[in-house]
Structures are given as structure tokens and as C-alpha cells.
Structure 1
Amino acid sequence: MTLDIDRSASEHEHEALNLSALSHSDQLKLQTALKEGWRLTPATMAVKITQGRWIAARHLLYISTIVATEVAKGNARLIFTFPARHGKSEFLSVNTPIWFLEKWPSKFVMTITYGAELATDFSLKVRDTFQNEDLHHLLHTRIRADKKRVDRWLTPQGGGLTAAGIGGPLVGRGADLMLIDDYIKNDEDSLSVTKRKKTWEWFKSTAYTRLEPDASLIIIATRWNQKDLIGMCMTELAHENWRLINFPALAEINDPLGRAEGEALWPERYSRERLLQIKKTLGTYWWDAMFQQNPRASMAGLDLSEYLKKIPESEVPSNADLKTIRAWDLAATEDGGDFTAGPKISRHKETGKIYLRDMKHVQKSSGKVKLLVYGTATGDGHGVQIWMEQEPGSSGKTVIEDYKDLLKAYDFEGEKATGPMEVRASPFLAAIEAGDVFEVEADWNDDFEEELDGFDADAEFDDQIIACALGYNKLVFGLKGSLTWGRETESNVIPIRGNPGHSMSKDTPRAGLTW
């Protein structure tokens, strides 16, 4: 008992009398409970065994108590949604299995992420913690020497952990606690109807059927899409009585932590100012999904044209201060179908501001389009680089080769169209919303703005936006390949100069913008 000098002697005596009234066995139980209190939740255990190196942020402490209480009851169905880089994976996929298997070493944990490699990384951390001899005076669970494979290991009591990726095999394996952490890798996967459907079908047919009687299931993730795994569970499996708690990066009304509206979730790591900077970089569509956990049905309806800054041609900086690209998205149909679009886009070398200076937008035959492209190159001059989107297949490659021959006197490059168009367009749309794009006043403005405000995966026309995105990405990022928002290990990313919050992979063929 700790003596509190601010309390009277009689109060201490009364407390002592209450304790003395307990039986000897109850006194021992109480003393043990006080001494072993660090075992109560995943968070308290993590603080103890890491000697305080694990940071017990308030949102993690909050869900830790819920996890400990609901899992102990059995048959828990919990969903927690968090913004990226806010400690969710370390808590759920490392700290929670350690706590669970220390408490119930005869039971099984199943850790699932978007890829098997990431899941086994988490499994390795859990296994190494139990194998760490420096912690044996605290942790009693051990690993069988003959069953310690990183993706599946066992305890002497018959329990253990299985690590798997979405879509992987789970035959013959059960789970008393199933943990699903970040089931979507990047924006490309989130926008793919096929991949979302495969994830859902795998979850229903393979993962869900591995749950033991009274098993608990916890999903913790950053939201990407209304119809992602969490969205489907809440609609198609509502009878499971899910408890869903959202933690937006900036607090909204009825915040679970009692934060004031607009207050940062983890200000010691991401201040409100830093989060607003990220919002400006991402744009509303991805910010609402990934950081506020409120994904939109589509990109349409954002009224982005309101953010364009219209200026006369006379206010465009001199060519010496600009880098300029003419980008083309081709269509060869003369009547109906897609248009051919060719915007002329410049970027200021010092400020990074974007100037949308001209737009070619026509429905013409392939021969007439060739004349248009060549005539435009002549008018733009040799100082303007030309990029053209290459359609998939051998025919697309042939078209690019034809244009290389036609424009051999100019700086011309083809670019393969890879990934969903919403992904490719996202950086350009975010720049518009941030107020960094100037539109030169011209007759083509209304047509372009109408297409901009209606842009999404199901839009009837998207040629101008796709062509602008191609030009923008080349001006700003200067990268070959597609852009993605997604997850990489910190050792594999480097910041893109002049674009706070953006990163690109050093080791993968395609550059990836990651968080």
C-alpha cells in the first residue's frame, strides 16, 4: 500500500481495516492482481515488456481496453478504423497476439494482412518476443523448438500463431482469435472491383470458416473504398453484431475519445498543421477515405472546377521560367466514342504552380489526328516535350512507334497506361483542389470543367483529365511508370523533393507514392 500524505491517518486506518477483513487467500489474490496489473490489456503488457519504448497513445489505450474486455467474453466482432501511420498494426498484429497467447497459450491466433510477407513479419516479432530470454522472467509462454516456422509456430500447450496473406491457403488451421490488419495494399487494389470481390469471397469461404466456436474476430484498417472488406461486413454480415469505432485523423462530432472538433488524433506524431498539409496533398477523395475513414462513392461531385484559378494568357509567366509538356490521350474514332485530348501544361520552375494553357479536344479519324498532333508540335516548337499515352497490347506499341517516326525531330515519348485512371489522375486533381492549377481563359474552358466535375470511373468522357494527369505526373514527378498510394516499409521509401508527404520506392520498378 502506498502512503498518501494528503490523506488523514484515520482514512489509512480505515483502508487497512478493510484489507484485514479479507481472508488470507483473498489478500494474496489482491496482492497478485496489483502486482500483475500490467497483464490486463495488450497495451499495458506492451508498455511493460518494451520498458516504455512502445508509445501508449490514447487511442491505442482506448481500443486496448475494449479488446481485452470483449475477447475475454468470447465471440467478439470488432472493427477499428484508423488513418495511416497511427500505430494500429503494431498494436493489433504484434501486441495483441503477445497478450492473447500469454494469457491463453493453448489457443490459436491467426494474423492476416494483404500479403503473406507482411503477416510473417508480424509473426516474427511475436515469436521473437516469446523467445527473448531477457523477457522470460515476465512472459511464461514458450515456443516449441520443433514447431517454430515463422508463418506457423506452436506453444508447448498446443496453441500457436498462423500468419497468412489475403487469398492464401488456410486449410486445416483454426483460429480462436482472428486478426485482419490492412487488407488493402494500395489505391490501385482499392479501386479494382475484381480484387475487392476476390477479397470478399476469400474472407467468406476461407477465413471466416476457420473461426473456432466462440472465436473473436478483429479487423483494423485504413479505409479506402465504401465497398471494401469493412463495408461489406457491415452490410452483408450485419447480423454478426459488429462493434465499429472510427478514429478520424481530425476529430468530428461525437468523437469516441471526446476530442474537440478538428483536434488531431495523435498530435505528438502528426500535428493538426501536418495533417492539413497532407490533406492538401491528397485532395478530398483520398483524405476522406484514408484519414477520416469516410470513403466516398466516387470522385464525382467534388466540384473541382471551383478551385481552378482562371487567368488571361498575359499573366502566364515567361517560357524561360516554365517547363512545358504537351500530353496526348488518343482516340481514333471519327463519330462517337472517346475524344482525342491534348493539353499543353506548364510548371513554374520555382513555385511549382501549374498552368493549363491550351487544350486540343476532337473526334477525328486516326489520319486526321496525326495531322493535328504534328501541326500542334510545329506550333508549340521544339522547347515543348511531347508525351503520349500508350494503349495496352501490340497495337498500342505500334501507334507509339508510328508517332516516334512522325515526330522524330521533337522530344517525344510514349507512356504505357497502367493502373486505374482514378489513381493516375489523383495527383492532378489534388493539385487543383489545393489551388495550385491556373487555367488560361479560352473557349475550351467550359467543356474541360464539365468533364472535370463529372470525372470518375464511370464517366462517359475522361480524355481531357487523363491527358492532363499524364502531363502533370511527368512535370511534377518525372517518373516512368504508374503512381500509386500505398504501403511500403520505411526503409524502402524516400521523399519526393518539393512534395511534402510524398515518397517513392527505391527498389520497385514502378514508383509508389506511399504513406
Structure 2
Amino acid sequence: MNNINLLKFIELCFQTVVPGCEYNDYQYIKVIADRLEAASAGEEVKRIIFNMPPRSMKSICVSVAWPAWILGNQPTARIIVASYSRLLSEKHSLDTRCIMQSDWYRKLFPKVELSKDQNTKYKFQTVQRGCRIATSVGGTLTGEGGDFIIVDDPLSPAQALSETFRKRAANWFDQALVTRLNDRKKGVIVLVMHRLHLEDLTAHLLCKPRNIWHHVCLPIIAEDKEIIYSVNNHIPEHEQEIYSRKEGQLLYSLTEGKEEIEMIKAELGSYGFAAQYQQNPLPLSSGIIKREWLKRYKNFPDSLLHVTQSWDTAISTNNTSDFSVCTTWTKVDNTFYLLDVYRAKLEYPKLKEKVLSLAARWKPHAILIEAKASGQQLVQELRKNSDLPIIQIVPHDDKLTRFHRIVPIIESERVFLPNQAVWLSDFEYEILMFPEIRHDDQVDSTVQYLQWVRNNIARVVAIRSL
């Protein structure tokens, strides 16, 4: 146990403060331990931001285990830990103290002993005069200094929506907390939080002219292939890669897998999920489509007389390929109801099967398929081998121009989305963020339908005027 590293130490701490729960040795915890070990050893990494989703053990690692580790190795160190809530700060403090009073900790660090003169839930001290101080954002630290400062969740989700609270947290950090460092050059500051807003404390720190922050950002779902290397100088070169995952891979396992992700999206909405779980906060309204333009319905319209399916196709399943998307719509008078969205990466045979199965489910009066490489083959085969109402769409102009043509339909509040659906958050994210998004297949499918129906209405009006 004498050669224990921080990674193993975190596991022992977890078993102490969460007894009865199984410890999951997730690979990403190596990244946290690696950065914290480097910071506590006095290496170059002295300003760290961890952005990670809820339930990722970030607080246990950073605010609970790490202070105990620091005081075990540096009993004279002074540590300040702050959070948005005094109750949360108190809990983390009590957990650290519980670890330091455990038998295994005292065997590991026999010279470290808590002082009887200063041993409260807000501040406890070693006999060597090191200490851990708990406070809250905006709290006073008169007379207190720190060698290590930890800020853990500086804002609650509700507070993050308030400009007043966001500015208060930023001002407190800049003008009060940072001044508590005993040595600005050697002192360490760590911010750990899930993102909450485009102007939260993470954004405030990263947008400063001189960026001194080492940023570790780990979304629940990898948006690209990720490879992370150690920052510890003593790690052999062949062991430098400490974390990797593929695009689409989860950060940690969930009981229900991807279904649980969809449940979280439904509960938090697209804005909350993008910020807290993907570490990618959205603007509350984008530059083109405004959230308030999209109307809601509780139940399908009574009669589905004009059902149309709009396909945007792709025929590859590799990580960088586009999705195939089918949006299913019905038209009632001059309003348009989105009934269903199907989105997946498919090879051609599976794509054709899915077109047939979705057509059998919804019995559309028209199936729109764009005349591009994958779509042309699909159109030819379906026209030859089925009686489906296939309509080949030949797009004109560029994607953004086509999008702007259908904006008035949405702005006039004639597009209705369901109150609840497993696909709703992803659809809203894409249409509200367009064109500043990586994948826009759902937008393409939607634009194709609305432009087609708009042109049909225009043709009917023209014929009637003859």
C-alpha cells in the first residue's frame, strides 16, 4: 500500500464513502487522476477545468478523495473547496474527513492526524497545520489562504439561467476566490462542473485573453474519436495514452443503455441534455428558427388523410457518414404535424427494408426521396418492385437557400411537434441549431417535405386562378 497511486486511492475512498455500492473502474477516471496527480506534484498543470456529466464520480474524485490525498502527502497544505450550496460543500467536507479517519487511511499515512482544536464540518486541520476549508460561492474567506482551490458546481441549473447569478459567480471567482491563493505561481485551482449555460463559469474562464486553463471535456456520448494522453512527466512513453473511445461510445455504462439516454433527453429537454450531459450548451434560441415558433400537439389529428414521408438517404455505416432520415408528416388544412422521425446509419439493403417497413406502418400517400446517388437506386428499385407512391425530388439551389424558403412556414406557427417522443430532443437540437451543426439530415428531410408541400399549394392556387 506504500506505492499506492491516486487512481487506486480513489477506489478506496469510494468504498469508504459509498459502502455497499460497486465501484466501476471506468477508464476516464484515469484522466482525472492523472491531471490531479500532476497538479499536486507541482508539475506544469496548475489550472484545470473538468467538464463532465452528472453521476460521473467527478465530485468524489476531485472534492472528496483528492483533498485527502493531498493532506496525506502534504500535511501542511491548505485546501479551499467551494460549491453553489453550503449543504453540498458540507457533505463533501464530511466525506473527506470520514476518509481521513478510516483505518486504512491512517495506516497509509501514519504521520497524518486531525487536530482536536480545529475539527468541524466546515474546517478541519491536521496537527501539521494543513487544513480543508468548505465554503459556498459568494461566501467569505476572510483571513483564509489556500495552496489548492477547488470549485465544484459553482451554479445550480436554475441559477445558471439567471444572468445575475452567473455574473455573481464570475465576479466572486475573479475578485475574491483567486486572491486567496497563497502563491499565485505555485498555487493550483481546479474547476469541476457539468456545463449549464453558454455564459457559465467555464465559458467565462476559457474566453479570457490569456488562456491558462487545461480543459478536460468528456461528454456522455463521444461526438468524435477521443484519445487522451498523460500529462505526468514520469510516465513512460509507451504508457502515455491513458484514455480512448470511439464516436458514439458512452462515457460510462447505463443500466438501460441508449434507451436510458433517450429517457434523460425526454426529462431534461434538448437544452438541458446538450449542456449537462454533452457539455455543449445551446443558445436558448438560434439565429434562424426560434423555439417559440414550433408549436405542440398532444394527440395525433383525428384523421390522417394526407400522410407524407420524406427521406434523406445515405448508404454507409462508418463513423463519419451521414444518417438516413425519414420524417413522417400529416397535413390538416394549412398546418403540418410531424408524426415520427426515424434516423440511423444503414447500408443499402437495410435502408430499402426500412423504407418498406415504415411505409407499411404509416401508409403514406406520398414518399419523397431525394435524387442523389443512394436515393436514385432506391427510387428505381421501389418503382419497379412495389406499388409505393414514390416521388423523386430534384433539389435546386444550395441547402441554406432551400432552408430559408421554408422558414416563413415555421415562423407562421404552422408546424406542430408532439409534446413527447423519444426522438424529439435530437430533432429540436438539429433544427434550432442549423446551420451550426455537424449532422443536418433531419433538417434536410424536413425542408424537403415543407418545400414540396409549399410548391404543391402554389401549383393548386395557380391552377385555380386560370
TM range (shorter): 0.5 to 0.7
The 1-side partners of 2:274 and 2:52 are apart by: 12
User: Which sections of structure 2, spanning at least 5 residues, go unmatched?
Assistant: 228-242, 305-331, 333-337, 342-406, 421-466
1:288 lines up with 2:274 in the alignment? yes
Written as runs of structure 1 = structure 2, the 5 A alignment for 1:136-151 is: 136-140=106-110, 141-151=112-122
Relative to structure 1, is the Cα distance of residues 175 and 53 closer, same or farther in structure 2, using a 3 angstrom cutoff?
Answer: farther
- Residues 249, 292 of structure 1: 8 Å contact kept: yes
> What is the aligned partner in structure 2 of residue 132 from structure 1?
102
> Which of 190, 200, 203 is the matching residue for 2:160?
190
1:55 lines up with 2:27 in the alignment? no
| Residue-by-residue CA offset, 1:358-388 (whole Å, 9 max, x unaligned) | xxxxxxxxxxxxxxxxxxxxxxxxxxxxxxx
1:70 lines up with 2:13 in the alignment? no
- Residues 86, 266 of structure 1: 8 Å contact kept: yes
* Residue identity opposite 2:282 in structure 1: R
The 1-side partners of 2:96 and 2:55 are apart by: 20
Local SS of the residue matching 2:302? helix
Cα distance, 1:309 vs structure 2: 7.4
- Residues 263, 272 of structure 1: 8 Å contact kept: no
> Which of 297, 307, 315 is the matching residue for 2:303?
315
Written as runs of structure 1 = structure 2, the 5 A alignment for 1:228-247 is: 228-236=200-208, 238-247=209-218
1:180 lines up with 2:151 in the alignment? yes
* Residue identity opposite 1:298 in structure 2: L
The 2-side partners of 1:433 and 1:288 are apart by: 23
* Residue identity opposite 2:176 in structure 1: T
> What is the aligned partner in structure 2 of residue 116 from structure 1?
86
| Residue-by-residue CA offset, 1:317-345 (whole Å, 9 max, x unaligned) | xxxxxxxxxxxxxxxxxxxxxxxxxxxxx
> Which of 111, 126, 136 is the matching residue for 1:165?
136
User: Which sections of structure 1, spanning at least 5 residues, go unmatched?
Assistant: 1-34, 317-356, 358-431, 436-445, 454-464, 474-515
Q: TM-score by structure 2 length?
A: 0.57
1:217 lines up with 2:189 in the alignment? yes
- Residues 178, 217 of structure 1: 8 Å contact kept: yes
| Residue-by-residue CA offset, 1:294-335 (whole Å, 9 max, x unaligned) | 11232335676679679985339xxxxxxxxxxxxxxxxxxx
Relative to structure 2, which stretch is displaced further, 171-180 or 265-274?
265-274
The 1-side partners of 2:300 and 2:152 are apart by: 50
Cα distance, 1:273 vs structure 2: 3.1
Relative to structure 1, is the Cα distance of residues 312 and 262 closer, same or farther in structure 2, using a 3 angstrom cutoff?
Answer: closer
The 2-side partners of 1:434 and 1:208 are apart by: 51
The 2-side partners of 1:107 and 1:310 are apart by: 58
> What is the aligned partner in structure 2 of residue 36 from structure 1?
2
Cα distance, 1:66 vs structure 2: 1.7
The 1-side partners of 2:225 and 2:133 are apart by: 37
Relative to structure 1, is the Cα distance of residues 93 and 312 closer, same or farther in structure 2, using a 3 angstrom cutoff?
Answer: closer
* Residue identity opposite 2:100 in structure 1: F
> What is the aligned partner in structure 2 of residue 406 from structure 1?
none
Identity over aligned pairs, percent: 23
Q: TM-score by structure 1 length?
A: 0.52
Relative to structure 1, is the Cα distance of residues 313 and 156 closer, same or farther in structure 2, using a 3 angstrom cutoff?
Answer: closer
* Residue identity opposite 2:179 in structure 1: T
Relative to structure 1, is the Cα distance of residues 312 and 107 closer, same or farther in structure 2, using a 3 angstrom cutoff?
Answer: closer
Written as runs of structure 1 = structure 2, the 5 A alignment for 1:55-454 is: 55-73=24-42, 76-133=46-103, 135-140=105-110, 141-186=112-157, 188-213=158-183, 214-236=186-208, 238-256=209-227, 257-267=243-253, 271-300=257-286, 301=288, 314-315=302-303, 449-450=410-411
- Residues 77, 240 of structure 1: 8 Å contact kept: no
* Residue identity opposite 2:265 in structure 1: K
Aligned pairs, number: 304
The 1-side partners of 2:83 and 2:72 are apart by: 22
Local SS of the residue matching 1:145? strand
Relative to structure 1, is the Cα distance of residues 62 and 433 closer, same or farther in structure 2, using a 3 angstrom cutoff?
Answer: farther
- Residues 79, 243 of structure 1: 8 Å contact kept: yes
Local SS of the residue matching 1:180? strand
> What is the aligned partner in structure 1 of residue 9 from structure 2?
45
The 2-side partners of 1:449 and 1:76 are apart by: 49
The 1-side partners of 2:156 and 2:93 are apart by: 18
* Residue identity opposite 1:36 in structure 2: N
Relative to structure 1, is the Cα distance of residues 302 and 82 closer, same or farther in structure 2, using a 3 angstrom cutoff?
Answer: farther
* Residue identity opposite 1:65 in structure 2: D
CA RMSD of aligned residues (A): 3.9
* Residue identity opposite 1:68 in structure 2: E
| Residue-by-residue CA offset, 1:108-151 (whole Å, 9 max, x unaligned) | 11111111111111001111221234642223322101100110
- Residues 222, 291 of structure 1: 8 Å contact kept: yes
Cα distance, 1:282 vs structure 2: 2.9
The 1-side partners of 2:9 and 2:103 are apart by: 17
The 2-side partners of 1:124 and 1:98 are apart by: 11
Relative to structure 1, is the Cα distance of residues 102 and 433 closer, same or farther in structure 2, using a 3 angstrom cutoff?
Answer: farther
The 2-side partners of 1:115 and 1:433 are apart by: 43
Local SS of the residue matching 1:63? helix
- Residues 198, 282 of structure 2: 8 Å contact kept: yes
Relative to structure 1, is the Cα distance of residues 103 and 147 closer, same or farther in structure 2, using a 3 angstrom cutoff?
Answer: same
Cα distance, 1:185 vs structure 2: 1.1
Local SS of the residue matching 2:207? helix
The 1-side partners of 2:289 and 2:181 are apart by: 42
Written as runs of structure 1 = structure 2, the 5 A alignment for 1:464-475 is: none
| Residue-by-residue CA offset, 1:28-75 (whole Å, 9 max, x unaligned) | xxxxxxx5221x22x221224538954332111222112101331256
- Residues 130, 139 of structure 1: 8 Å contact kept: no
Relative to structure 1, is the Cα distance of residues 450 and 130 closer, same or farther in structure 2, using a 3 angstrom cutoff?
Answer: same
Local SS of the residue matching 2:182? strand
* Residue identity opposite 1:261 in structure 2: E
- Residues 106, 158 of structure 1: 8 Å contact kept: yes
